[in-house]
Structure 1
Amino acid sequence: MTDEDRTLSPRRLEAFSDGVFAIAATLLVLDLSVENLGAITSNDQLWHALGSISGSLLSFVISFLLLCMLWMVHARQFEHIVRVDNTVLWLNSLRLLGVVLIPFTTSLNADFSGLLLGRLVLPLNFLFVLVLGWALWGYVSTRSRGLLDEMSDAAVRSSGRRALGAVIAGLVVVLLAPFIGSWAFLAFAVSPLTSRRS
């Protein structure tokens, strides 16, 4: 059996993954509902009610933007992956497991931000997804496996450094979240800067 017989085109994996990312992003908004605002009869009451759900709004915005970032990483990786094997299928499936948990951990983060575990579940969820993305790239970028296109060695190393930079930023978020909550996700804003310098 040749390597070609043990691998598949990535088309179906990409379609499935895109669907999972799209559904997870859509599910995020379900926690936001006008029913949570109560009876509103004035502008002042509406502003006050919106302020009372500001934690949920912040968690939604952060999770949506970071989910988009995760999808962009996935899309960039699969622009260069021309074949997939069982290991890639499993690594990607585990990564998607983390992705579909993001709406749930976002809700936990918003509703239980006063508790240590409530502040940690979402950062740990993102870290799980980032580690699996980094592991997947490390696996497919081994040239002897023949899973990548003709990407240059420098580009492969650069992508690996960016993936590692995201994992490091994820670790920083996990370490900061107990102290500053969702604001810890700002570490991802500087992650591209630090990975470019390395």
Structure 2
Amino acid sequence: MIRRRARPRTATVSTRRLEAFTDGVFAIAATLLVLDLTVNDLSGATTDAELWHGLVGMWPSISSFAISFFLLCLLWSIHVRQFEYIVHVDGTMLVLNTLRLFGVVLIPFTTSLDSRFGGLALGQTLLPVNFFWVVLFGYLLWLRAAAPGSGLIEGLSPVEAARSRRDALSAVILGAIVVIAAPFIGSWAFVAYAFDSPLSRLLSGGVAPPAGSDALEPDPRSE
């Protein structure tokens, strides 16, 4: 009889299944975003002018779709870069990733709310809150993975890992700013994410990664 070897309570496992599952959830969420764009409102168009007018009227839906799609792809790319360094996952990381994906699957829904109820403060706020949720739990996941002595990452020195944790905080701060600003300026609040690199350098004391170093280029950070 083969005896199954007992694992310690702090056992870690391979990242293969977590990566595959996470990739699948991101892909499905990104695909579902387009379902909010339909031609139903254009069915009455009989001339080019009427069709163009109808497309212009769909602008809120199109802009919400574009914002969510590109931000979601950015978060996925950060997830991919994180797992270039993460070689093992533990139970805490599985929980944090599950909470992150809970936010990911809600993005098509909150995107629809943003496009249809963008004139209301709540309608403008729920999508930024949704993205903040995903960014926050991605940040917490990276904190856990890059914690000193965790043994969950490879390829980063302790100094580089410490810098990456500080850099990752910038996305959380900007996400909070977007949530606060959205009720006042709507989707324009998402422009705040464009300041991620300057804020990352500020949080790292203005020190850029060494020339030629790819350890933190681009920096692994939260989704």
For 2:191, the equivalent position in structure 1 comes to: 186
1:146: which partner in 2?
151
Q: Which one of the candidate residues 78, 83, 87 is aligned to 2:83?
A: 78
Q: 2:34 aligns with which of 10, 29, 32?
A: 29
Equivalent-residue separation in structure 2 for 1:46 and 1:157 (angstroms): 54
**Deviations 1:63-115, CA, capped at 9 Å, x for gaps:** 00100111111111111111111111110011001000000000001111111
Q: Is the 8 A contact 1:173 1:184 kept in 2?
A: yes
CA gap 1:194/1:33 in 2 versus in 1, 3 angstroms: same
Q: Deviations over 1:109-164 (max 9, x none)?
A: 11111111101100000001111011111111113221111311232123222321
Give the equivalent residue in structure 2 for 1:103: 108
**Cα RMSD (Å):** 1.6
User: In the TM superposition, what is the alpha-carbon distance from 1:32 to its structure 2 partner?
Assistant: 0.4
Q: 2:132 aligned with 1:127, yes or no? A: yes
- Equivalent position to 1:171, from 165, 173, 176: 176
Contact 1:108 1:118 in 2 (8 A): yes
CA contact (8 A) 1:130 1:163 kept: no
- The residue aligned with 2:206 is none
1:15-70: per-residue Cα shift (whole Å, max 9, x none)?
A: 00000000000000000011232311111111110111100000000000100111
More helix by share: 1
Residue 88 of structure 1 is aligned with which of 93, 97, 104?
Answer: 93
Q: In structure 2, what is the equivalent of residue 159 of structure 1?
A: 164
CA contact (8 A) 2:10 2:90 kept: no
Flag the 1:152–1:116 CA change in 2: closer, same or farther, 3 A. Answer: same
Aligned mates of 1:5, 1:131 — CA distance in 2: 24
In 2, the alpha carbon distance for the partners of 1:36 and 1:16 equals: 36
TM-score, structure 1 as length reference: 0.95
Bigger CA radius of gyration:
2
State the alpha-carbon separation in 2 of the partners of residues 86 and 184 from structure 1: 35
1:15 to 16, 20, 23: 20
Contact kept, 8 Å, 2:111 with 2:127, in 1: the verdict is: yes
Q: Distance in 1 between matches of 2:180 and 2:9?
A: 43
CA contact (8 A) 1:133 1:163 kept: no
Residue 142 of structure 1: SS of its match in structure 2? coil
**% identical equivalent positions:** 54
Match of residue 141 from structure 2: 136
1:51 is the counterpart of 2:56: yes
